[in-house]
Structure 1
């Protein structure tokens, strides 16, 4: 009995009570943590991962959100990969992407457990097969296109690292392709020393489901019938007279053309300049220097003023576009009253057109669009036989119907940009924060009715460093002021306690 009493007395001590309280609180905290983890585990993966990266690789743009909100067809995504072995960035992004629309169905298929799946879908491991049953279209996206590997580090140092994350661009382009029944073909001219489009631009066109082909006008009698846009990029030699007439006929029939000039301006290409002059666009002599809107004191590296609206203004926020070695243009009266020509990119009024002999100050057009509404009146011939008099009423009804159907308005569109450097890879890749590619793709998309620019660039995975370029008052306060206040405050507290 004495031993039992002594044990009871032990548990009645203040030390034991405090210990029991601590144990109880520990058990309670552990229980709360376990329950919290269980609750969090039930939250969809798309919302469990917070994007705290500087590049915001999980952020999805309004362009994609709008596309997914307007989906009318079911889109299936078959992910042929081992989910546990897949990079977490891909699994997280896929989950977030699918959560934006109930029309997106994601299914993971383990190719190790189901090896026949690779044969069934005619593809390889670590691939997403995107399909739409309503349109019957199917395409694939490889993990290597989403997480872009640094090839230089891999081949020279044997290390695996990634430079870009292109989840949104690849998936949005694929969804747009499989759900959109309309196809658009862009023909790029050859045979005049044209420059080659960079992979950055061709990738953006592919994401927008544009088919890019080539055409040599010297070897053709006409521009292909399936040409939705004729693109001429930095020609160095002129069109022949027959080619110039071919371009006129194409535009007169409601065609769309886009011309970007390189080091050779239209002034040095008289036949091409003659076509542009009909649409109210003439070249200014020399290169454009703009001291008020230049890059770090280089007058020939200029930031033009943008005056965009409609399709050209889609997702243009900063209005920062960089051009180098740009030629100027002046807008004149078009040859026909049906033609309307407007500028969407220009220099400031403090710019100069500089040649070896002169410097002419003024405001110069750097990008312009000319449109013309063309009425097509294909009249149907009515029978004029012997029975015409007996069927007069029927003939009148047919004539009225034919007249209303035959009048179909078409719009030709000519887009001219005086600086091919707009899409030069040395600029677009060096300054990804600029909107060069956005304004270019908007200009391309504006040629297609009812089409939105859905080409989304990849996000860089490069490390960003915070550097102090100007040590002003705020910088000095952060670096020296705050630490000094903390040290002095600590010393005062220590000194008071020592004297107490």
Structure 2
């Protein structure tokens, strides 16, 4: 009996040894397989990233905020000069441009070798500042970019605030309003490769608004789209500079003098362009209107009121959701997506000539009213009123080697292009496009030479504050109704199960 027990014990031990050997073998195989699998995955990732990594990177941000669009690709494909983009910082340590650097790689890849990108730390290589700014006029700083073209000897700075549109909320905390990287870099590239750059002058001397403080968005828009922006004091001026493509009088508080009128008239007759912007106020502009007779238009003294509630903003009759009809400036009608506050009426005269063409660019609805001297009791009959007019006089062509027609645009609302409106609504409205396409036409710039690239708006995850009634309803629902329903359900279930 004892022998049988010993044999059974020995058999069990033998089986255990066999099982232990199998377990150890399985463990070794598992560990080895796991290690080999990890090594293969790592090797595959490294090799795959080296070979195809750059080609398989995607911009997952909404609106492709850090990618380049069709307009930029078209400009890059037509480049015939070499451009260098120099980042004045250490690319391995600088965090603020980490999302921008892949975009610059896209520029290089799309340019067929015409664009080169490099990064130089000015702390380690201080001579780089002289290399990118040999004349000393550009004055770049560390943590900026310099876009330069040796063929034209032109260069342009692109800084942090050119790439990111930073604003402030109600609590004065900084917020990202938009990403203007593509706009800035493509504009800089277009600027440095162009032999000539249209110049837009904002006038001073008549109490004009300061575009550098209240209209910075349109100024940046021009600068980022191959326009140069300058100021021009009209007081005592004998002639408008020859490089002036467009002259903008922005909300002047005083009328021009006879001498200034002659200077402006001479400039226009040589193929110049004028944009006059003034919202409603008690002041009038008789001397300017004398000049405008040759263009069959007039600056009115009326305030416009919108009678159609569908074309009012927040039911305010003086904040008009204006209509941009099909015109030289607007290809397709834009109805109700252009805000104009405190609008002044602009008039078409009866001085009809074959060589003068006048067209409305922005109007009220058919229920618009013109209030004489801003008095609602002295209103015109309902009808479509003009907020923006464009006049083109071709009668001066071939006189004194004039090859372009004279162009004048009257804009009856300064709010159309103000930072207050544009920073709040951005590209949701047509206001920005209206300004840009108007300047593009006035400057005789072809669409191919100056293409508009809108800024890209970041996604907002802000939860808007609800109304008082909504807040009360939600509070009652969460604290009373839902708990009450749960309690009632529990009681019903309890009573059914009580007698089981």
Q: TM-score, normalised by structure 1?
A: 0.75
Q: Distance in 2 between matches of 1:445 and 1:328?
A: 24
Distance 2:425 2:55 in 1: 31
The correspondence of residues 103-252 of structure 1 with structure 2, limited to 5 A, is 103-122=114-133, 123-147=140-164, 164-197=178-211, 198-252=215-269
Q: Who is 1:302 aligned against?
A: 320
1:412 equivalent in alignment to 2:406: yes
Q: 2:60 aligned to 26, 44, 51, which one?
A: 51
Tell me the secondary structure at the aligned position of residue 228 of structure 1: strand
Query: Which residue does 2:384 correspond to in 1?
Result: 363
Q: 1:213-256 CA deviation, whole Å, 9 max, x = no partner?
A: 33343402333333222211112222223333333333222221
Confirm whether residue 341 of structure 1 aligns to residue 358 of structure 2: yes
Structure 1 residue 322 displacement after superposition: 1.0
Alignment map for 1:378-397 (pairs within 5 Å): none
Residue equivalent to 2:287: 271
Match among 408, 429, 438 for residue 434 of structure 1: 429
Residue 443 of structure 1 deviates from its aligned partner by 0.8
Shift of 1:5: 7.9
Distance of 2:392 and 2:177 partners within structure 1: 41
SS where residue 51 of structure 1 aligns?
Answer: coil
Give distance in 2, aligned partners of 1:317 and 1:378.
Answer: 37
TM-superposed CA distance for 1:468, in Å, is: 9.2
Aligned mates of 2:166, 2:362 — CA distance in 1: 36
Q: How many Å apart are 1:133 and its aligned residue?
A: 2.3
Instruction: Please give the alpha-carbon distance, in whole angstroms, between the structure 1 residues aligned to 2:203 and 2:414.
Output: 15
- For residues 47 and 368 of structure 1, what CA distance do their matches in structure 2 show? 50
Q: CA deviation at 1:281?
A: 2.0
Greater Cα shift, 184-193 or 426-435: 184-193
Q: Return the offset for 1:8.
A: 4.4
The residue that corresponds to 1:351 in the other structure is: 368
Residue of 59, 62, 68 corresponding to 1:60: 68
- Is 1:280 paired with 2:296? yes
| Residue number in structure 2 paired with 1:72 | 80
Q: Per the alignment, in what secondary structure is the counterpart of residue 424 of structure 2?
A: coil
Q: How far is 1:336 from its partner?
A: 2.9
| Secondary structure of the corresponding residue to residue 320 of structure 1 | strand
Matches within 5 A, 1:483-498: none
Counterpart of 2:105? 95
Deviation at 1:27, TM superposition (A): 5.4
Within 2, Cα distance between the matches of 1:50 and 1:24?
38
Task: Provide the rounded CA distance (Å) in 1 between the counterparts of 2:416 and 2:269.
Answer: 28
Q: Tell me, in whole angstroms, the C-alpha distance in 2 between the residues paired with 1:263 and 1:375.
A: 32
Structure 2 unaligned spans of 5+: 1-10, 134-139, 479-485, 487-500
Root-mean-square deviation over aligned CA pairs: 4.0
Counterpart check, 1:37 vs 2:37: no
Distance 1:73 1:364 in 2: 48
Distance 1:375 1:148 in 2: 43
Q: Secondary structure at the match of 1:186?
A: strand
CA change 1:445–1:113 in 2 (3 A) is same
Distance of aligned partners of 1:34 and 1:7 in 2 relative to their CA distance in 1, 3 Å threshold: farther
Task: Answer yes or no: is the 8 Å Cα contact 1:207–1:455 preserved in 2.
Answer: no
SS at match of 1:362: coil
Cα distance in 1 for residues equivalent to 2:462 and 2:242:
52
CA deviation after TM superposition for structure 1 residue 285, in Å: 5.0
The alignment covers a number of residue pairs equal to 443
Q: 1:338 and 1:60 mapped to 2: Cα distance?
A: 42
Judge conservation of contact 1:46–1:92 (CA < 8 Å) in 2.
Answer: no
Give the SS at the match of 1:169.
Answer: helix
